[in-house]
Amino acid sequence: DAKTTQPPSMDCAEGRAANLPCNHSTISGNEYVYWYRQIHSQGPQYIIHGLKNNETNEMASLIITEDRKSSTLILPHATLRDTAVYYCIVRSSNAGNNRKLIWGLGTSLAVNP
């Protein structure tokens, strides 16, 4: 069962920031938040992950609320190539089968010219 809730679709203008929300109200203390995206007809692509601190890399920023019940993935300057389905996933840091990723339906982001 998916542990996250995401809006099914979003639109964003090219050049603007895309802010993708994710609710994970039942997250436990040892669970990380991961973000992947999947461009049409390609395999998923890892974007970023975090535990409780905000994270930034060359692709995106991840903002996690203080209570860790929700997070936002930020693409600072969206381009047409960022059009994809974005998946927010929580995953235990413990060894064993709890480490598997449980994928939901994601958010389909359309970046418009």
Partner residues linked to 20 by β-bridges: 73
Q: How far is the CA of 78 from the CAs of 5, 31, 35, 101, in angstroms?
A: 22, 28, 16, 26
Residues 49-88 as x/- pattern, contact with other proteins by CB under 8 A: x-------------------------------------x-
Measured CA to CA, the distance from residue 82 to residue 54 in angstroms comes to 21
Which of 19, 32, 59, 74 touches other proteins (CB under 8 A)? 32
Residues engaged in binding other proteins (CB under 8 A): 2, 32, 34, 36, 42-46, 49, 87, 97, 99-101, 103-106
